[in-house]
Amino acid sequence: MALADIRALSRNEDGIAVAAGVLKQRFGDAFQTGEAIRGQHAHTTTYIRPQLPDGVLFATSTDEVSEAVKICAEYAVPVIPFGTGTSLEGHVNAPAGGISIDTSRMNAILQVNPEDLDCIVEPGVTREQLNDHLRDMGLFFPVDPGANASLGGMAATRASGTNAVRYGTMKDNVITLEAVMADGTVIQTGARARKSSAGYDLTRLMVGSEGTLGLITKITLRLHGIPEKIGAGICGFESVEGAVEASIAAIQCGLPVARIELVDELNMRAINAYSNLNHGESPTLFLEFHGTEASVAEQLETFAAIAGEFGGRNFEAAVHTEDRNRLWQARHDAYWAALQLRPGAKGISTDSCVPISRLAECIAQTRADIESEGLLGPVIGHVGDGNFHVLLLIDTDDPQEIAKAEKIVERLNERTIAMGGTCTGEHGIGQGKRRFMTLELGESVGIMQLIKHALDPKNIMNPGKILPPGRE
């Protein structure tokens, strides 16, 4: 829907040709220019059109990334970081061509410090890889965006997911990071200490900068002890309002809920059909609680009582692993099930996040809007954060449907911003949401522009992302 927004950055043909030659000479087979590989590196999971880079460097170290960026800087050639390609907003596209730096071979877990509850990883390590590695130590890394994304990519997009309500987002779980900046300089943004007041928070500046200021080459992450006990719950509600109000009440009374996920009736119907289940087809909360055995039991009991006050019914709880997994399977299937509501359609995921007091209202207005356009858009929500995704199911070969979807998304983002919310809770801006930046952030966009110009004067770091057209 944002195709019209993508500024036709001009290609620096000569620079690209020379830089590609230098990179080939320096890196040999680790630098690839075949179309298949370039195509994979412009893969997007939405219908944003792929824009291929001119070459892909499979880097293996910070030094190699630095060297490559220096070469690109010398010839003013764009550098596009690539992790696993699971981003949703065209982050890996190369609108002005350039070199994709693939970090998947930088996948070493360099340190785990159990006493400090931290670890240092290379950017290509995926979250599942890290958690597999940590399991035997009784530790885990909590941020879970669904996809088995690379931790570098998750940091770059300020990702979060289902348990941000308890453990925070990447912003809260990156302690410090190493990055290669636009001239090839390598920086370490801060100390490994748990907190610091030493100067500007470059860690948080880089987290969420989507490769537009520098390329993340090492990340120090905060870890957590695997809870002694995990409890799961699932509860149907008469209305989305009831489910949201129960969530608000639970959080207000200090219930340390680890996950609290909303699935609307349409998505529940999809799940039942997809997995042959017989859940009630009403707005449903999926919950998870972490703690000691006694505390998890108490949390489940407290939530059951709260749910009852807001029209919750058939609250089902589970503490044994298999039972928990069975309960949550429905939530995990939500995306694939939703796609099957309209076989052949593509899903476009929105990413509104509003103050939780406005969440039910925002969802209701959005669902009414989708219905009046005659489209399907099942909803799931990270309700504890006020973040929800509509999966608009559209035939991307039908320009009229695309136009309708664009209108729905535009109105949704305007509604969200008017309610004090953001057009992106966790997916990032990429190419797809650039045109909402000014509406949401006003004069702050000018400050972002000054920072971008100062740190990347040649605009080679992932150009055409984040900053709105004409403000890059």
Pair of tokens at residue 3: 């195709």
Using the rule CB under 8 A, is 343 a contact of a copy of itself?
Answer: no
Of residues 236-255, those binding a copy of itself (CB under 8 A):
248, 251-254
Q: Is the dihedral of CA 428, 429, 431, 436 positive or negative?
A: positive
Q: What's the number of CA atoms in the CB half-sphere (13 Å) around residue 311?
A: 12
Judged by CB under 8 A, the residue of 8, 29, 136, 197 near a copy of itself is 197
Using the rule CB under 8 A, is 202 a contact of a copy of itself?
Answer: yes
Using the rule CB under 8 A, is 63 a contact of a copy of itself?
Answer: no
Judged by CB under 8 A, the residue of 61, 148, 292, 329 near a copy of itself is 292
CB 148 within 8 A of CB 84: yes
Judged by CB under 8 A, the residue of 208, 283, 347, 381 near a copy of itself is 208
In angstroms, the CA 405 to CA 351 distance is: 14
Of residues 77-106, those binding a copy of itself (CB under 8 A):
none
Helices and strands counted in the chain (H then E): 17, 19
Stretch that binds a copy of itself, among 2-10, 264-272, 276-284, 354-362 (CB under 8 A): 354-362
CB of 168 to a copy of itself, least distance (A): 8
| Residues forming beta bridges with residue 287, ordered by sequence position | 233, 260
Based on CB atoms, which residue is closest to a copy of itself, 164 or 307? 164
Judged by CB under 8 A, the residue of 2, 79, 101, 164 near a copy of itself is 164
Using the rule CB under 8 A, is 308 a contact of a copy of itself?
Answer: no
List helix spans (H) across 168-261: 170-173, 202-206, 240-252
Based on CB atoms, which residue is closest to a copy of itself, 55 or 468? 468
Using the rule CB under 8 A, is 443 a contact of a copy of itself?
Answer: yes
Using the rule CB under 8 A, is 29 a contact of a copy of itself?
Answer: no
Stretch that binds a copy of itself, among 125-133, 307-315, 316-324, 385-393 (CB under 8 A): 385-393
Using the rule CB under 8 A, is 344 a contact of a copy of itself?
Answer: no
Using the rule CB under 8 A, is 39 a contact of a copy of itself?
Answer: no
Which helix (H) or strand (E) covers residue 219, if one does? strand 214-222
CB of 306 to a copy of itself, least distance (A): 13
In angstroms, the CA 116 to CA 193 distance is: 9
Where b means 16+ CB within 10 Å and e means fewer, 191-216 reads eeeeeeeeeeebbbebbbbbbbbbbb
Which helix (H) or strand (E) covers residue 81, if one does? strand 79-82
DSSP secondary structure code for residue 9 in this structure: P
Chain centroid offset of residue 380 CA: 15
CB of 198 to a copy of itself, least distance (A): 5
| Residues forming beta bridges with residue 260, ordered by sequence position | 287
Total residues contacting a copy of itself by CB under 8 A comes to: 98
